[in-house]
Structure 1
Amino acid sequence: MTLSVDIRHAFGDFTLDVSFEAPPGLTVLFGRSGSGKSTVINAVAGLLSPETGRITVEGKTLFDRAQGIDLAPHRRGLGYVFQEGRLFPHMTVRQNLMFSRWFRKGARSDFHEVVEMLGIGALLDRRPLALSGGEKQRVAIGRALLGDPRIILADEPLAALDEPRKAEILPYFERLRDEVSVPILYVSHSATEVARLATTVVTLENGRVTGQGPATGILGDPMLTPLGARAAGAVLETKVARHHDDGLTELSAGGVALFVPRVAQQVGQPLRIRIAAQEVILSRSRPEGLSALNILPGQITTIRSGAGPGALVSVATPAGILLARITQRSARLLDLTEGASCYAIVKSVAIAPEDVGGPDRVSKAL
């Protein structure tokens, strides 16, 4: 089941011209504010009619300017999760969850399965004013699911939450990605969310698609940094190897041991981790006498110099691609060139808990 988008629309000096496909799993529209992310999702939802183009999902045409097709939002079979829950305050959680079925007669999704998946059984008789921000978003996700949508849209659904509430909600979006068969189109400008959740990443800049592919490939490409070099970071696919008594967890990535602060996952559990480029140090020889535990041999594949003093270096290691943000002076002093051997050094404590997430089971099954 795939969403296909090919649209163009002008707003004064800004022109949106995008074409991409969102396969099963969770596709993130990733870019700076003003890059066109919300405009795309509004066009898919039927809240905006593009000047030209076509939008289809599961073989059904939602919009086709040439053929005069422009289905109303309630006829598109969408589940929409907004930045804020937008629950009906006069209804209980149960009534809010069941409301979406009013538009989708004969919906087959199992109410109890959805409630169990989202952990909201104890909330069913409460009203929205008695819920936390994270609880409201879980109910909003449930309401979207219970309408048996052809596609789920999520427009920066964590933007209004504080960090603890974001950490609460991220695992539910991971389950949604892995357990629901419909495409999920997710708008974000958070590299952490992209690294944790994305099956596919579509990067946008000034209304244009600049890249599309799996999270590990897109986030590891130094030429695709829609939020700038300060937010750059690569994603590694790892597996929990063992837990140590000193509070560290040992991960295995491509046969290489990586040490991170303890994670609450069983041995053998696959995990994704994001390593920020600013947390990676490069050395031409293997360093000795360092406190850093993670020292990975590698080869430089790309060096991207910025307009300022910085450079973004891509390093191929046995664990996967890493990005390092260094100064151009350091690159010259170390004589860093494409193809040169080096070592990438990462402090264990530099890998934050929010940058460690569950595996993307969807893309592995495709």
Structure 2
Amino acid sequence: MRLRLERAAFTLDVDVTLPRGITVLYGPSGSGKTTVLRCVAGLERAQGEVRVAGRTWQDDVSGEFLPPWQRPLGYVFQEASLFPHLTVAGNLRYAQRRAGRDADASALQRVIDLLGISPLLDRSTPELSGGERQRVAIARALTTQPQLLLLDEPLASLDPARRREVLPWLEELRDGLGIPMLYVTHSAEEMARLADTVVLMEAGRVLASGPPAQTLTRLDLPLTRDEEAGALLQGVIAQIDTRWHLARVDFDGGWLWLRDDGLQAGERVRVRVLARDVSIALEPSAPGTSSIQNVLACTVAGLAPGPHPSQALVALQCGGHQLVARITARAADTLGLVAGNRVFAQVKSAGLVR
């Protein structure tokens, strides 16, 4: 897609080609994320072109512009906006009728199963919890069998407990359906957990786009200066320690012991390691002399100033993955850190995000 639109606060100027899967538009409030969704949906008329799955939705050169109702997409807003006079099943039937005669009943049932809303079908929508309403809203958007699903901060209005309730269902959709999604958020947790591709936006422009594991650790991007900055590792559950309730995640570059959350050996997972939870040593500590159990042999890939003058950011290459450590500038100087140094990353904490 290629979009340009003059706004009072910024000029939207986006030119990206996105793969299938979930693309997360990430950035601070006012960076243009929602405007991109509205332009893709045809709710706002930008200059440029929009092509989805080989079909042209907008092309200013040829003058083609499909109105919103002719674009095969689903749109999920922050608020569920369900019809309060209809049951859950009634809301889904309404969407199915709008999809036309070719609506696939089996596809609807699959969406119901993926989102776990079968027990809710006879419920009145005002009786639903916030998390249940959002799951139904997503199901209703998918009932139209869209070629693209747009989600505009669908969890922003939920409290942390309800957010944790909905996230696994979104993962099920990501892994179980072949529908590409554009997902807007300023939550680092949602981005790390869901994204196949990250598009980092600021003041209407794309600063970077790519797989999250590479994008999150680039020292030239503002992401690494955020309080929640960190790395994303792709690994597999290799071992369960039932005595200490731990799980070992192996990845290209080493392994990490994490809290056992009931996953099974062989499952593929994502692990998020925050920069503030990584320290650096020139030598590994002797066994039994430190409480830190996760130590990885790494190479310094680069250094940059931190968000405060007292801090330094250090990119660390660990096999095929990269970590970021946020340490004091004094410590970086004392250790003599430069690109190419062999060091040991001490990971104080890490968490599964899938």
Instruction: Please indicate, yes or no, whether the TM-score normalized by the shorter chain is above 0.5.
Output: yes
Deviations 1:62-115 (A, max 9, x none): 122333322221211111111121111111000111222232211225222111
Displacement of 1:182 in angstroms is: 2.0
**TM-score normalised to structure 1 length:** 0.91
Map of 2:271 onto structure 1: 273
After alignment, is 307-316 or 79-88 more displaced? Answer: 307-316
Q: How does 1:66-215 map to 2 (within 5 A)?
A: 66-105=61-100, 106-108=102-104, 110-215=107-212
Map of 2:49 onto structure 1: 54
Map of 1:321 onto structure 2: 322
2:141 counterpart SS class: helix
Map of 1:283 onto structure 2: 281
State the distance in 2 between where 1:173 and 1:250 align.
Answer: 25
Map of 1:239 onto structure 2: 236
Number of matched pairs: 348
Map of 2:297 onto structure 1: 297
After alignment, is 79-88 or 220-229 more displaced? Answer: 220-229
Map of 2:221 onto structure 1: 224
After alignment, is 73-82 or 60-69 more displaced? Answer: 60-69
Gaps of 5+ in 1: 358-366
Map of 1:19 onto structure 2: 15
Map of 2:350 onto structure 1: 351
State the distance in 2 between where 1:255 and 1:229 align.
Answer: 25
State the distance in 2 between where 1:297 and 1:227 align.
Answer: 21
Displacement of 1:185 in angstroms is: 0.4
Q: CA RMSD in A?
A: 1.6
In structure 2, relative to structure 1, the CA distance for the partners of 1:325 and 1:261 (3 Å cut) is: same
Displacement of 1:319 in angstroms is: 6.5
**Do the aligned residues in 2 keep the contact of 1:24 with 1:183 (CA within 8 Å)?**
yes
Q: Given residue 274 of structure 1, which amino acid in structure 2 is its aligned partner?
A: R
**Do the aligned residues in 1 keep the contact of 2:299 with 2:318 (CA within 8 Å)?**
yes
The alignment status of 1:33 with 2:33, answered yes or no, reads no
After alignment, is 251-260 or 320-329 more displaced? Answer: 251-260
2:227 counterpart SS class: helix
**Do the aligned residues in 2 keep the contact of 1:256 with 1:319 (CA within 8 Å)?**
no
Displacement of 1:294 in angstroms is: 0.3
1:193 counterpart SS class: helix
In structure 2, relative to structure 1, the CA distance for the partners of 1:8 and 1:129 (3 Å cut) is: same
Q: Given residue 259 of structure 2, which amino acid in structure 1 is its aligned partner?
A: P
